[in-house]
Amino acid sequence: ETPHCLVHTMEVEESSTHPTTALREFGCEQNLLSRPDGSASFVQGDTSVLAGVYGPAEVKVSKEIYDRATMEVLIQPKVGLPAILSLSAGHTRFSLFYLCPVSLLLSRRYKASLCVSVCLCVQGPQLLACSLNAACMALMDAGLPMRCLFCGVTCAIDPEGHIHTDPTAAQERESRAVMTFAIDSAERRVMMSSTKGSFSVSELQQCIAVSQRASGKIFQFYRDSVSRRYSKML
Partner 1 sequence: MRETPLSNCERQFLLTAIKEKKRLDGRQTYDYRNIKITFGTQYGCCIVDLGKTSRVLAQVSCELVAPKENRPTEGILFFNLELSQMASPAFEPSRQSELLVKLNRQLERCLRNSKCIDTESLCVVSGAKVWQVRVDVHVLNHDGNIMDASSIAAITALCHFRRPDVCVQGEEVTVFTPEERDPVPLSIYHMPICVSFSFFEQGTYLLVDPCEREERVMDGLLVIAMNKHREMCSVQSSGGIMLLKEQVLRCSKIASVKVAEVTELINKALENDKKARYVFEFL
Residues 43-72 touching partner 1, rule: CB under 8 A, are 46, 48, 50, 52, 54-55, 57-58
DSSP per position, 36-73: SSEEEEEEETTEEEEEEEEEEE---GGG--TTS-EEEE
Residue 91 CA neighbour count, 13 Å, CB half: 14
Q: Determine, following the binding rule CB under 8 A, whether residue 35 of this chain makes contact with partner 1.
A: yes
Peptide bond into 56 cis (omega under 30): yes
Q: Are strands 113-122 and 70-77 parallel, antiparallel or unpaired?
A: parallel
What is the smallest separation between the CB atom of 188 and partner 1, expressed in angstroms? 31
What is the smallest separation between the CB atom of 178 and partner 1, expressed in angstroms? 23
Tell me the H-state helices in 37-176.
87-103, 127-142, 169-174
Task: Choose the stretch contacting partner 1; rule: CB under 8 A; options: 16-24, 79-87, 95-103, 151-159.
Answer: 79-87
What is the smallest separation between the CB atom of 36 and partner 1, expressed in angstroms? 6
By C-beta, is 173 or 189 nearer to partner 1? 173
By C-beta, is 139 or 179 nearer to partner 1? 139
The partner residues of 178 in beta bridges, in order of sequence, read 156, 196
Query: Which residue ranges make up the site for partner 1 (CB under 8 A)?
Result: 2-3, 33-36, 39, 46, 48, 50, 52, 54-55, 57-58, 74, 76, 78-83, 113, 115, 117, 119, 121-122
